[in-house]
Structure 1
Amino acid sequence: MTPPPTAAPALPAPVAGTPGPARDPGTGRRTHPATGGALVLVGMLLVALNLRAAVTSLGALLDEVRDGLGLSGTTAGLVTTLPTIAFAGLGALTPWLVRRVAPARVLVIAMLALAAGQLLRVLTDSTWVFLLTSALALAGIAVANILLPMLVKQHFPHRTGLVTGAYTMALTAGTTVAAASAVPIAHAFGSWRAGLGIWAAMAAVAVLPWVPLALRARAAARRATTPTAAVAPPTRVRPARTRLGWAMAVYFGAQSLSGYAIMGWLAQLFRDAGFHSETAGLLLAGVTALGVPIALLMPTLAGRLATLRPLVLGLTAASALAYLGLALAPHDGALLWVTLLAIGQGAFPMILTTIGLRARTAEGTVALSAFAQSTGYVIAALGPLLVGILYEATGGWTAPVGFLLAALAVQTTAGLVIARPRYVEDE
């Protein structure tokens, strides 16, 4: 955890897990952990459960959606690329939004957009309406992606690692459940529309905790119009003008690039190695399933260490060994490579935690989160595309794995820059 804004930069960060008060949305006042703080935490976990369900459920049912809507190969490619485009473009607008609207109110709108987009896209037979409503759903996810690290910083300033671990675990669990259950749900109801549309209900549930918090924030905003409650406007933080901001963006982008490449192509690699298609799918699911406990553990470790260098190098070693194993012995060591990949993908929860650790204030956190994630997703969009091009051009996996190793080297270099304690506001 970072020290409060009045602390000197050289002071060590407090240990994650140290008890600290939650803050009421909009007022900044302390809340009892059994009331306001608990409600914020429940709200964050419900939001996190929704952050990938709309994406992974569509990926699992893409063939059925292509047949049902008559999508061309190009359009299907656009559908699979749409998440990274939305996360990059719309996520960048979030700091502008939270300077004008309380975060709780923004999350209500984001989750409503997610629920409406998921529902409307299964009610249409039009390709373009499907794309537009999918974009509406992804807009809600993009905004929530950026807000969660800021909310951890604002409401749980002395529990960054623990709370980030909890919501990252919820995110990973939601990803896994949606990917695993979308097809069975579609088969049970006899339509791909049910396999996609059911997740709109989960997004609607995620709205509920934020409604009272949004009303409370609105009341606080009205009180702030009086002279006695007036406060100075927050200082603008511009991570794009800092070395730390760019290092965070490159690390986030490089680890996301490998993550999307793995999700898109690992099953095909195992099929080419001689595994049955169902077994290949299970091996891919194993990477995500093993990531659930790692998602809980990694932020806690990151919050407790004086420097992130051991974590950065350890995650790099796990990923490098996995890539080499996939290139040299994909069949014989499959379970080991899946385990090492899951460990290496712990870079995702680590970088989410680091966003909060490298900013002193909630304003700095949301600015750093927006810049790192929006820029990072632009980089990440290249992953599945370039792996596919190399695979098609060479007919094998040596070149694609070599590309992932090169991306890992870039990720490690950026990771060593962000490893030591420093703050974006100071730069």
Structure 2
Amino acid sequence: MEQTQTVRATVVVLTVSIVLVALNLRPSMAAIGPILSAIRQDVPLTFSMASLLTMLPVMAMGLAMFVGIGVAKAIGEHRAIVLSLVIITLATGTRLFVDTGATLVFTAVLAGIGIAIVQAVMPAFIKARYAPNVSLYMGLYVTSIMGGAALAASFSPLVLEITGSWRLGLSIWAGLSALALVVWMTQKTSADSVVIGNSSQREKHFSNSRSWLLAIFFGLGTSSYTCVLAWLAPYYVEKGWTEQHAGLILGLLTTMEVISGLATPAIANKSHDRRKVLVVLLFLIIIGFAGLVVSPNKLSLLWPCLLGLGIGGLFPMSLIVSMDHIDSPMRAGGLAAFVQGIGYLIAGLSPLLAGIVRDQMSSFEWAWWSLAIISAVMLLMVFQFNPRHYSRHYI
């Protein structure tokens, strides 16, 4: 009995550690949008240049994803996540002293590298540790990622308002990553037993059409996430909202993402066929983007809620569908790394393209319409995800 309680306590503490780690994977990006106008008053940035603060870390996440598993193999999963948290803490804390756009962009890229290492390791870790309930724990992990974004989007403008310092609004999140680092370092015994798949398994994905389909699907879906993260708050500031209220709108959206990220995998866990759930999520996204354009100030709380519910559910479900294709945690982890690596490279272009559209057309509305059309295209892709045919793609 005592041994059972000890095991349960270990699982609980490890789960809490995973949540704390995941909370640190978005504040470095989510804190920027709501206080961008204050940053631009101090550091001259066009919207195209400002988009680099989201684009480059996402691109870095994509590129670093391919080496993240290699880092984990070389030094172990536990040390790899320790390393990533150290990088994120340094990158975020350094923002207290930045005085140029180039330095700010450098901290964003550095944080992206740290984030990528975690995201390369964690899916395989979760599939190995929580095999009977992968959907639920992946949902918890991804929801915690979005929860970190919600915290940063909501509280960074508040820090700016109280202190008058956008640098403090960006750098304060180093405290959260330092806390996660301390807690994770206590989990060495529990966290060091997962074996990561070898490189030859990962390389096969480059010649596998199903791997590319999954990666493109993840990338297009994440494009909505990264673009909203970068530009929703500035869009509402342009509509006459204060930075604090625009940040709260983004915070509301990310809160809906958290709710959907928890609820959607639990609902989807009842069936191995995830297609109906994916279709519903994509329709929510399409309606949300259309609403932002047609009626941004009327029903202004509805559109972020719909977008949050759609994007928040689509993010974990894209990874869950990918991992459904392979039973082995090692090989599924390799596929997840490939899907995220290619996917983040695709998604990283979204904020840049939207920033260019804003500079050229003086409006983000064309960007929202484009993302709605992309989501409609994704509806066609969903019908390829019949679980009865998964085994034919990965022997």
Q: Where do 1:173-192 residues align within 5 Å?
A: 173-192=147-166
Q: 1:298-354 CA deviation, whole Å, 9 max, x = no partner?
A: 122232213111012111222222233334344434333233212221211211333
Alignment of 1:25-424 (within 5 A): 33-68=7-42, 70-73=43-46, 75-125=49-99, 128-214=102-188, 236-237=201-202, 238-267=204-233, 269-270=235-236, 279-345=245-311, 346-394=313-361, 399-420=366-387, 422=390
Asked if 1 retains the 8 angstrom alpha-carbon contact of 2:33 and 2:231, the reply is: no
Deviations 1:355-392 (A, max 9, x none): 33232222222211211112111211232333344455
Structure 2 distance, partners of 1:98, 1:423, is 28
Hey, what's the Cα distance between the residues in 1 that align with 2:275 and 2:327? Answer: 21
1:411 aligned partner, one-letter code: M
Aligned CA distance change for structure 1 residues 183 and 254 (closer, same or farther; 3 Å): same
For residues 31 and 92 of structure 1, the distance between their equivalents in structure 2, rounded to whole angstroms, comes to: 38
Identity of aligned residues (%): 26
Query: Aligned partner of 1:380: which letter?
Result: A
State the 1:239 CA deviation. Answer: 2.3
SS at match of 1:92: helix
Asked if 2 retains the 8 angstrom alpha-carbon contact of 1:306 and 1:420, the reply is: yes
- Distance between the aligned counterparts of 1:118 and 1:129, measured in 2? 12
Equivalents in 1 of 2:44, 2:358: separation in Å?
24
Change (3 A) 1:404 1:306: same
How far residue 156 of structure 1 moved from its aligned partner, in angstroms, is 0.7
Structure 1 residues 340 and 134: alpha-carbon distance in aligned structure 2, compared to 1, 3 A threshold: closer
Deviates further, 186-195 or 286-295: 186-195
**Do the aligned partners of residues 128 and 267 (structure 1) sit closer, same or farther apart at CA in structure 2, a change above 3 Å counting?**
closer
Is the Cα contact below 8 Å between 1:235 and 1:363 reproduced in 2? no
Equivalent position amino acid for 1:197 in 2: S
3-state DSSP of counterpart to 2:273: coil
Find the aligned partners of 2:238 and 2:97 in 1 and give their Cα distance: 37
For the pair shown, which has the larger CA radius of gyration, 1 or 2?
1
CA distance in 2, matches of 1:174, 1:81: 18
**One-letter amino acid of the counterpart of residue 96, structure 1:** G
Structure 1 residues 425, 156: closer, same or farther in 2, change over 3 A?
Answer: farther
Q: Once the 2 structures are TM-superposed, how far is the Cα of residue 110 of structure 1 from its aligned partner?
A: 0.8
Give the number of equivalent residue pairs: 387
State the SS of the aligned residue for 1:122: helix
Q: Deviations over 1:68-89 (max 9, x none)?
A: 5x44436544333222121111
| Alignment-mate amino acid for residue 145 of structure 2 | L
SS at match of 1:306: coil
2: CA distance, partners of 1:387 / 1:130? 20
Q: Which is helix-richer, 1 or 2? A: 2
**Alignment check: 8 A CA contact 1:37 1:155 kept:** no
SS in 1 for 2:308: helix
> What is the CA-CA distance between 1:45 and the residue it aligns to?
0.5
Alpha carbons 1:94, 1:143 under 8 Å: kept: yes
In structure 2, give the amino acid aligned to 1:387.
A
Shift of 1:396: 5.6
When residues 44 and 382 of structure 1 are mapped into structure 2, their CA distance, relative to the original with a 3 A threshold, is: same
Per the alignment, residue 426 of structure 1 pairs with 394
1:229 match = none
C-alpha distance 32-246 of structure 1, shift in aligned 2 (>3 A):
farther
- CA distance, structure 1, for counterparts of residue 301 and residue 10 of structure 2: 44
TM-score w.r.t. length of structure 2: 0.85
Q: Which residue type is aligned with residue 363 of structure 1?
A: M
Distance 1:320 1:307 in 2: 22
TM-score by length of 1: 0.79
- Aligned partners of 1:161 and 1:303 also within 8 Å: yes
| RMSD between aligned residues | 3.2
Gap regions ≥5 residues in structure 2: none
- Give how far 1:131 is off: 3.7
